Copies of this chain bind each other. A is one copy, B any other.
């Protein structure tokens, strides 16, 4: 077993428990293996620290001065290979994100920049320059940094009154062309085609575009959701004006997630619960007849996963608890991080606009409009634990196995099962001044069986 490494003396995340159990991986193939019959080539003593699968972020727009929607185009035009820039160069965000334990991400791509705008709005069959470069980097086995699992296209098929900081001119007006056609034209069919569908079950990434966020109440949106989810693309509802029934219809059509729950959607009202209400729909399948209001047949309702930005400024802790208590297995922590993440507080250019970073919050310069965040996934995990009292392994699920399941990669990412990628983090608990609870700190990060970060070496 020349290449098998054994992790000993661990507290391994296993469902909702931490268990003392060894873990084995093949350092050449970069995957976990089951208990070998022969002695491993080497062992690593984890000194009774917590070992969790590598973190996944389903929504990240950039970091460390790098904007995936902007700079990738620049780099590709300059004939750079941005993967090298982004993933290999230690000055680039993927590598810099590693200390926070984040190891894989569908790179969020907001098609809302001047460069793309005219073409996007034109709606001719046009392939955005960025998307091919935002595709999965899996085959490259980048051992130095974070891996791309494909693009999460956020927009432009939004509600006009729920755009957030996306550019108005990029939001499509519903037109004569059927919405599904317009979506294919806008993203470029070549970016939506599944090149390796036969391998999809093996966990390969179907296309450059991995995930799309759109508003389900737009005319034709339900057809779009049906067609693209059939193509294996993860459809998420968000930036929407949908009421409860319209959000319900989006999920029934095949959407499996809600993008940054609470933000850029209708608030809950007790007689019109809005998208939040869809999280409560029971799987038990009882009828929901409303007395005096006819019959509303429930049938079996599928609950969507939901992303939530736990930075303390997007949602109140009690609102996170509310959604979590309604649907604990659906919660996915996301950062929605922008390029100022990892930088100093202050103002930076962002396309034609400017962003002001203050701590974990980012706003459009000169306004109170929140624009994404500057929080790391690890900070979100620590907030989530403080706000809910969730155990460490339970909190880990929200950044490992649950986002992996959203992407259909539950056997490849966010798990220790044999054959899965050997991505994992070694964590310590540290006391927090003034708080009785502890905070998790990342001591080591291993990617495809290679140690890429050790706090002791920094």
Contacts and interface: CB of A to CB of B under 8 A. Distances in A.
Given A271-B319, A318-B273, A291 B379 contact: yes
Interface stretch (A47-55, A380-388, A400-408): A380-388
Interface in A353-409: 358-361, 375, 379, 383, 385-389
A200 interface: no
B379 A280 contact: no
Contact of A319 (B267, B277, B359, B435): B277
A268 B312 contact: no
Contacts of A293: 312-313
A285 interface: yes
Interface string A410-453: 00000000000000000000000011110000000000000000
Contacts of A165: none
Contact of A292 (B262, B290, B313): B313
Contacts of A169: none
**Copies of chain A in the complex:** 2
Contacts of A296: 317
A273 B386 contact: no
A201 interface: no
Interface in A311-358: 311-319, 321-322, 325-327, 358
A263 B270 CA distance: 8
A105 to B, nearest CB: 21
Kindly name the residue among A282, A283, A316, A361 whose own CB sees the greatest number of chain B CB atoms within 10 A. A316
A220 interface: no
A272 interface: yes
Contacts of A292: 311-313, 358-361
Contact of A282 (B244, B281, B312, B321): B321
A457 to B, nearest CB: 28
B317 A326 contact: no
Nearest to A288: B317
A410 to B, nearest CB: 24
A176 interface: no
A68 B368 CA distance: 52
Contacts of A313: 290-293
Contacts of A312: 289-293
Contacts of A327: 325
A293 B311 CA distance: 10
Nearest to A435: B287
A286 interface: yes
Grouping DSSP codes into helix (H, G, I), strand (E, B) and loop, the A interface class, with mixed when no group exceeds half, is: loop
A38 interface: no
A455 interface: no
A386 B282 CA distance: 10
Contact of A325 (B317, B318, B325): B325
A284 interface: yes
A285 B326 contact: no
A393 B295 CA distance: 25
Nearest to A436: B287
B286 A244 contact: no
A269 B267 contact: yes
Interface string A210-233: 000000000000000000000000
Contacts of A280: 318, 321-322, 325
Nearest to A274: B318
A341 B361 CA distance: 53
A326 B277 CA distance: 13
Contact of A286 (B273, B288, B388): B388
A163 interface: no
Contacts of A284: 388-389
A286 B326 contact: no
Given A282-B388, A319-B270, A383 B277 contact: no
26 contacts: A262-B270, A267-B270, A268-B319, A273-B318, A276-B322, A278-B318, A281-B321, A285-B389, A286-B385, A286-B387, A286-B437, A287-B436, A287-B437, A288-B317, A290-B312, A290-B383, A291-B313, A291-B360, A291-B379, A292-B311, A292-B312, A292-B359, A292-B361, A293-B312, A295-B434, A326-B326
Interface of A: 244, 262-263, 267-273, 276-293, 295-296, 298, 311-319, 321-322, 325-327, 358-361, 375, 379, 383, 385-389, 434-437
